[in-house]
Amino acid sequence: MNTLDCRDHSCRFSRDKSGQRTNGGCRCLKTVPEELRMKIHATFHVLELQVGRLTEALKKIDAMRKRLPDPDFAEQKNTASGIAEIIQAALSEKKEGV
Ligand SMILES: [Zn+2]
């Protein structure tokens, strides 16, 4: 559920930008002091990057998961290890965009 939405076309937090919208930029945090607002935007940006990486990781995992069930236990172990590596790689990149 999205509760933060100023109804602007460029709202930073809205996930559904349908319907009539204003111009002029996101006003969701207009009453927040600038320093804090910048930190919130930076944190939100990092979270967006992480979500993107994890989404990519999930796509890879899903592709690997389609190989299961495999009658070969060793192959399943390799697949599980591959999935764990993908998740770790996605999470270890989390500070890259800061
Ligand atoms: Zn907004």
CA atoms of 12 and 7, how far apart (whole Å)? 10
User: In the structure, what pLDDT confidence band is assigned to residue 77 with cuts at 50, 70 and 90?
Assistant: confident
Q: Check whether residue 41 and residue 87 sit in a common domain.
A: yes
Residues of the chain with pLDDT > 90: what percent? 22
pLDDT at res. 34: 92
CA of 6 to the centre of ligand 1 (A): 4
Residue 9 has pLDDT above 90, yes or no: yes
User: Alpha carbon of 47 to those of 18, 54, 78, 81: distances in Å?
Assistant: 23, 10, 30, 26
Any domain includes 97? no
Rounded CA Rg of the chain:
19
Say how many Å lie between the CA of residue 10 and the centre of ligand 1: 7
* 25 in any annotated domain: yes
Residue pointed to by tokens 């994890």: 54
Q: Is pLDDT at 95 greater than 60 in this prediction?
A: no
Please check whether residues 5 and 42 belong to one and the same domain: no
Q: Where are the alpha helices (DSSP H) in the chain?
A: 34-65, 73-92
pLDDT digits (tens, 9 = 90+) for 39-69: 998 998 898 898 898 888 888 888 877 777 6
Are 40 and 69 within one domain? yes
The count of structural domains within the chain is 2
Domain range spanning residue 6?
A: 1-31
Mean pLDDT of the chain: 82
- 4-32 mean pLDDT: 90
- What 3-state DSSP class applies to 4? coil
Mean pLDDT of 23-42: 91
Residues 9, 48: one domain?
A: no
- Most distant CA atoms of the chain, gap in Å: 59
The encoded tokens of residue 58 equal 């999930």
Ligand 1: centre distance to CA 40 (Å):
13
Token duo for residue 31: 């009453």
Compute the distance from residue 92 Cα to the ligand 1 centre, in Å: 30
